[in-house]
Structure 1
Amino acid sequence: MTYKTILAILQSEADAGRVLDLALPLASRHDSHVIGLHAEALPMVIASPMGGPVVDFSVDMQEETSRRHTVIRALFEERARIEGVANEWRGFDSVSGDSAVSGIESARSADLVVAQQTDPDASSGMIANIEALLFETGRPLLLVPYVRKERAASFKKIILAWNGSKQATRAAFDALPFMKEAESVEVLCVDPQDTPRRDAEMAGTAIAAALARHDIEVTIKIENSGGVAHGEVIDNRIADTGADLLVMGAFGRSRLKEFVFGGATRTLLQSMTIPTLLSH
């Protein structure tokens, strides 16, 4: 199993370099086809709130959106040429200008989607709707931290946050290509509970055995949170082990037809220090 089609969500000039630093070397290693995708907001004609004349900003806005399309496309195509990977460009103009929303249909026919973690200091127009990519595509999402500087796209130490859920199961098998390349994979279970079919101390053994059959070096770690939030426990384990990829199921709940992240997922996405593969 490899990632043969990779979708790179390029929301802005600020995040494009980080996303390509991860997506393109990965594509080169897996002989993948990479789709670079960027969206811009459609120009708007705005009426004065004081009842004055309509102000048409469309010309200036169109020039700026065209400039960004050109700059980001040129960056993508040049970087893809240097890496020697098959590629294509998809540019969109939409009401929202959100590359993630515009990329939903493209993501559904990709093996892997790569995007940047939300930067809380970015302007609203530069933030992609990560929830849409996770909850509406059915595809794994590899998030790059907005503080990431290194370019390496291979991962030596991987932590699989495991709770036996369908989301964690999907994430584990979606991450198989990364795990098969890694030196080690740790199955991390936080506060496992006894079930009718399994004692708590046996948590993670079945998935570890399944991964080991793929010739993956697997260990199991059981952590008791002691009342600390599970997201913090996972963060601490990442720091202790020097892991360079986190794999986990993405949990959320629907509210008025919009998904919002559950507690552990939200904590990890806010504090992310390493690339994180999420599946829902």
Structure 2
Amino acid sequence: MRAKTVLSIIGINQDNADLRSAIELCRAAGAHLSVLVTALAIAPVGGYGEVSSSAWAEEREREVQSLSQQVATAKTLLQSSNISFDVDSLLTEYGWVDNEIGERARYADLTLVGGGLLAQNDMRWRVLDGALFHSSAPILITPRGRVATLQPRVVLVAWDSRNEASQAVRAAMEQLTAAENVHVVIVDPRASTRGNGEEPGADIAAFLARHGVNVSVDILSGGGRTVAEVLRQHAVDISAELIVMGAYGHSRMRERIFGGTTRSMLEAAPVPLMMTR
């Protein structure tokens, strides 16, 4: 994936670590950085169909001011960065976050979500839902203390022979071909034509090798652990700088329920995580 437009989503109650990481990634990639400062609008105290209280109006005004201040802070930092950028703000209701984020992410090659936003429990899942399931662009999750990069030396690919994993591999092909080592990891594979193939991992390894990827296949046993636990530990063991995997979920009315492994990895990825649905 060659990123020429990167969308970075930040909240109003976080420091500049996520934004600085996005700046460095865009500088290295020669990409335009589009920053979206996002805040959840506080609902009226008495409900949406009733007259708003003065206390609610004052709180909403404080929220608008915080949003404006964060936008100004972001612009100041970006103006000294010597990269191409734009900054926009979004004050939205909880129920519309996913749609709003999805609409912005459709015009980016990659959506960045950093540890500062992930720490905001009131909005992180709606933002991730919008970025993953309302847009076809991949997302890059960067935990606190880690540096976002599109030039990883060691990559872990979580493989389960499903379409979502295949889409993730294709989205990350530029990163995979440039990496020094790519580990295709399969946890407790089922060797069958309808499972992971007669020789699990052989097909995806051959596919990647034809693209010039330096690939190896790691077959791992769960040993009573979840798939996410196995992947996280192996990423640490091989000193991976990026995990590539497909995102899974299913719709329940307007809420997107993330699959267990997807949610667990999003909650506690030890290194940057690139996901595509």
Instruction: Tell me which residue corresponds to 1:96.
Output: 94
Moved more, 156-165 or 52-61: 52-61
Q: 1:116: how far off?
A: 2.8
What SS does the aligned partner of 1:137 have? coil
Q: Is the 8 A contact 2:100 2:130 kept in 1?
A: no
Q: Is the 8 A contact 1:117 1:269 kept in 2?
A: no
Moved more, 208-217 or 167-176: 208-217
Distance in structure 2 (CA, Å) of the matches to 1:270 and 1:248: 14
**Identical pairs, percent:** 26
What SS does the aligned partner of 1:36 have? strand
Distance in structure 2 (CA, Å) of the matches to 1:196 and 1:57: 60
Instruction: Tell me which residue corresponds to 1:134.
Output: 132
Q: How many residues in Structure 1 have an aligned counterpart in Structure 2?
A: 274
Q: Is the 8 A contact 2:12 2:39 kept in 1?
A: no
Matching residue within 210, 215, 218 for 1:218? 215
Instruction: Tell me which residue corresponds to 2:155.
Output: 158
Identify unmatched segments of 5+ residues in structure 2. Answer: none
Distance in structure 2 (CA, Å) of the matches to 1:123 and 1:230: 24
Instruction: Tell me which residue corresponds to 1:266.
Output: 263
Q: What do the CA deviations read for 1:102-135 (whole angstroms, capped 9, x no partner)?
A: 3211101211111135878645267753122211
2:168 aligned with 1:149: no
Q: Is the 8 A contact 2:101 2:130 kept in 1?
A: no
Q: 1:6: how far off?
A: 0.7
Residues 1:118 and 1:82: Cα distance change in structure 2 (over 3 Å): closer
2:187 aligned with 1:190: yes
Q: Is the 8 A contact 1:247 1:277 kept in 2?
A: yes
Instruction: Tell me which residue corresponds to 1:13.
Output: 13
TM-score normalised per structure 2? 0.85
Q: Is the 8 A contact 1:44 1:58 kept in 2?
A: no
List aligned pairs for 1:171-210, cutoff 5 A: 171-196=168-193, 202-210=199-207
Identify unmatched segments of 5+ residues in structure 1. Answer: none
Q: Is the 8 A contact 1:251 1:265 kept in 2?
A: yes
Matching residue within 109, 112, 133 for 1:111? 109
Residues 1:82 and 1:151: Cα distance change in structure 2 (over 3 Å): farther
Instruction: Tell me which residue corresponds to 2:68.
Output: 69
Moved more, 109-118 or 196-205: 196-205
Residues 1:31 and 1:224: Cα distance change in structure 2 (over 3 Å): same
TM-score normalised per structure 1? 0.84
Q: 1:238: how far off?
A: 1.1
Q: Is the 8 A contact 1:43 1:58 kept in 2?
A: no
Amino acid at match of 2:57: S
Distance in structure 2 (CA, Å) of the matches to 1:37 and 1:151: 20
Amino acid at match of 2:16: G
Q: Is the 8 A contact 1:98 1:129 kept in 2?
A: no
Q: What do the CA deviations read for 1:7-50 (whole angstroms, capped 9, x no partner)?
A: 11112331x633323322221122111110123344665459xx
Distance in structure 1 (CA, Å) of the matches to 2:215 and 2:223: 25
Distance in structure 2 (CA, Å) of the matches to 1:120 and 1:25: 19
Amino acid at match of 1:61: R
Distance in structure 2 (CA, Å) of the matches to 1:248 and 1:162: 7
Instruction: Tell me which residue corresponds to 1:38.
Output: 37
Residues 1:87 and 1:100: Cα distance change in structure 2 (over 3 Å): farther
